[in-house]
């Protein structure tokens, strides 16, 4: 048997023209094989450390800041030793965290699903907003419908609106080759300004208060029921179960259906997929539409679950869809990872909000920007495979070196 070097797996020297694998999905996958669960953990730790340096450098105490933020998230509810009034407070805080986690899971999935098809959906924000607009329209106008039907209709149409918004980018990519990154960014801004027009002063969907740019309010029949906490105090609504269900749907579609097989094949290698008889264009469109569906659903969750109306400043300030990018990247575009990423950012978001953060410890306005900084650092490091791999290998080398003298 002739065993030339090339016959051994991975033994061939790198060819002179070794390019990185073609698509982003393939690159990500290559990295995931190396770092395991460690890479996202390192990423998070490094991001929080760097955030702490910013806090420290501007004359605040990072430790007490982080502790105050943590207490604001309500995650201490999970500790059995927290009791009495603290526990009541923690429960209320945790409800808020989970309320934020709900749309983040969905916008995270919106980014992750497109990623798995080799596309970068930065348009989660726009898809989320059009979903929210439709949820407001349906939720506030068809009040004669029975509760469950009204809720279902509002959620379904919001998801559909998101699917259309995402589908536009997919359609343009499939037919004209327009890069989805550019088109989804543009669609975000179009969605923002259209909302500004809809609900702005003298806009067609402005609510009864003609001096404020606020939409109509959702009817009671369309509100998602609260199952934990006081509905009057913004308790936790059932949308969290819809989000958890979406995680299952995401996993099942990807791993147990032919649609998912096609999505993954296109994501890893479009030309091989086409060779396999898969229509790459159809999949670009379909994956973006499914992505948009998740994001549109996220918009419905927020509107029907706790916001009930939208003002134009809120539209401009919203960033749930953008955080979805960080959620999906940190969660490595998997179902479980997206859940954990959404919980982390939901907690950060709530922990740094004006309502939750003790302003005597740290100014919430600073803190909400700190969230953005941490978010930026997470995305920065999560894209840097070499850095993570480098740290990982350095760690191994250190371990080897420390073992050598002993052996």
Partner 1 sequence: MSTVELRERLADRAVAGPKQVAITGTFLGILAAWLALPPATVRTSTVPIVLGAIAIALGGYAALRDERRVGYGAVAAGIVGIPLGLLVQHSSVSHLDAAFAWGTLLAATLRYATPLTFAALGGMFSERSGVVNIGLEGMMLAGAFFGIWGADKSGSWIGGVAIAMLAGGVFGLVHAIFAIHLRADQIVGGTAINFLSLGLTGYLFIQVYGSNGTPSLSTGHWLTGESIPDVTISSGNNFFAQVFGQLNLMIWISFAVLVLSYLLMFRTSIGLRIRACGEHPRAADTVGIDVYKVRYVSVVVSGMLAAMGGAYLSVGFTHSFNENMTEGRGFIALAALIFGKWRPFGAFAAALLFGFSTALAYAIPPAYSDTASSVLRSSALFQALPYILTLIAVAGVIGRSIPPAADGRPYKRQ
Partner 2 sequence: MAASPVLELRGITKQFPGVLANDHIDLDLKRGEVHALLGENGAGKSTLMNILYGLYRPDEGEISVNGKPVTFSSAKDAIAQGIGMVHQHFMLIPVMTVAENIVLGAEPTGAGIMLDYGAARERVREIARTFGFQVDPDARVENITVGQQQRVEILKALYRRADILILDEPTAVLTPQEATELFGILRSLKAEGMSVIFISHKLNEVLDIADRISVLRRGKKIDTVPRAGVTEEGLARMMVGRDVLLRVEKPPASVGDPLLEIHDLHVLDDRDIAKVRGVSLQVRAGEILGIAGVDGNGQTELVEAVTGLRTSSSGTIAVAGKTMPRHAHSRAMLDAGTGHIPEDRQRRGLVLEFSLAENIALHDYCYPPDSEHGWLFPRRLIQHARRLIKDFDVRGGGPTTRAGALSGGNQQKVVVAREVDRNPKVLVAAQPTRGLDVGAIEYVHRRLVTERDEGRAILLVSLELEEILSLSDRILVMFEGQIVGEYPPTATEEELGLAMIGAGKEHAA
Site for partner 1, rule CB under 8 A: 16-20, 24, 27, 54, 58, 120, 122, 172, 176-179, 181-183, 185-187, 189-190, 193-194, 196-197, 200-204, 322, 325-326, 329, 363, 365-366, 368-380, 382-387
Site map (CB under 8 A) of partner 2, residues 336-355, x = contact: --------------------
Q: Which does 9 bind (CB under 5 to 8 A by kind): partner 2, partner 1, none?
A: partner 2
- Give the Cα separation of 159 and 80 in Å (integer): 39
CA 370 to chain centre: 18
Counting every residue, how long is the chain? 407
User: Quick check: 22 binds partner 2 (CB under 8 A)?
Assistant: yes
**Phi/psi of residue 384, each to 5°?**
-100, 80
List the one residue from 128, 133, 198, 268 that touches partner 2 (CB under 8 A). 268
Q: Which does 329 bind (CB under 5 to 8 A by kind): partner 2, partner 1, none?
A: partner 1
Which one of residues 190, 261, 311, 361 is an interface residue with partner 2 (CB under 8 A)? Answer: 261
DSSP helix/strand/coil, 360? coil
Considering only residues 275 to 314 of the shown chain, the ones binding partner 2 according to CB under 8 A are: 275-279
Q: How far is the CB of 184 from partner 2 (least distance, A)?
A: 24
- The pair phi, psi for residue 393, each rounded to 5°, is -70, -35
Q: Which is nearer to partner 2, 266 or 340 (CB)?
A: 266
30 binds partner 2 (CB under 8 A): yes
Distance from the Cα of residue 52 to its chain's centroid: 23
- DSSP at 74: T
Shortest Å distance, C-beta 205 to partner 1 = 10
What's the half-sphere exposure (Cβ side, CA atoms, 13 Å) at 84? 1
Residues sharing a CB contact under 8 Å with residue 55, sequence separation 6 or more, in sequence order: 61, 62, 65, 362, 370
18 binds partner 2 (CB under 8 A): no
Say how far apart CA 290 and CA 198 lie, in whole Å: 25
**Phi and psi for 48 in degrees, rounded to 5?**
-70, -40
Which residues contribute to the site for partner 2 (CB under 8 A)? 1-2, 4-14, 16-17, 21-22, 25-26, 29-30, 255-262, 264-265, 268-269, 271-279
């Amino acid at each position: 048997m002739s065993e030339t070097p090339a016959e051994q797996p991975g033994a061939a020297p790198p060819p002179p023209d070794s390019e990185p694998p073609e698509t982003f999905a393939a690159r990500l996958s290559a990295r995931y094989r190396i770092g395991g669960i460690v890479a996202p953990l390192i990423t998070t730790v490094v991001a929080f450390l760097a955030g702490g340096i910013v806090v420290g450098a501007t004359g605040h105490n990072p430790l007490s800041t982080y502790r105050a933020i943590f207490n604001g998230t309500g995650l201490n509810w999970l500790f059995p030793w927290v009791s009495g009034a603290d526990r009541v407070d923690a429960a209320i805080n945790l409800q808020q965290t989970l309320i934020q986690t709900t749309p983040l899971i969905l916008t995270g999935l919106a980014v992750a699903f497109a990623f798995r098809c080799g596309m970068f959906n930065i348009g989660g924000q726009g898809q989320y907003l059009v979903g929210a607009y439709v949820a407001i329209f349906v939720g506030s106008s068809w009040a004669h419908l029975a509760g469950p039907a009204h809720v279902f209709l509002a959620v379904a149409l919001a998801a559909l609106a998101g699917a259309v918004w995402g589908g536009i980018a997919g359609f343009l990519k499939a037919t004209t080759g327009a890069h989805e990154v550019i088109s989804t960014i543009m669609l975000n801004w179009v969605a923002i300004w259209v909302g500004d027009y809809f609900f702005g002063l003298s806009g067609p969907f402005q609510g009864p208060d003609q001096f404020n740019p606020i939409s109509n309010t959702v009817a009671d029949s369309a509100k998602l029921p609260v199952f934990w906490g006081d509905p009057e105090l913004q308790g936790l609504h059932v949308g969290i179960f819809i989000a958890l269900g979406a995680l299952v749907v995401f996993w099942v579609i990807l791993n147990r259906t032919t649609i998912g097989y096609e999505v993954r094949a296109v994501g890893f290698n479009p030309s091989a997929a086409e060779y396999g008889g898969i229509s790459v264009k159809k999949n670009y469109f379909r994956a973006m539409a499914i992505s948009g569906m998740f994001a549109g659903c996220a918009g419905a969750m927020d509107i029907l679950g706790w916001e009930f109306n939208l003002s134009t400043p809120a539209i401009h300030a919203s960033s749930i869809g953008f955080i979805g990018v960080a959620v999906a990247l940190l969660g490595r575009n998997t179902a479980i990872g997206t859940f954990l990423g959404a919980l982390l950012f939901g907690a950060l978001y709530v922990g740094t909000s004006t309502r939750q953060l003790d302003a005597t410890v740290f100014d919430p306005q600073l803190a909400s920007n700190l969230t953005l900084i941490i978010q930026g650092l997470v995305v920065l490091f999560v894209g840097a495979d070499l850095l993570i791999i480098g740290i990982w290998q350095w760690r191994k080398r250190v371990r080897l070196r420390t073992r050598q003298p002993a052996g």
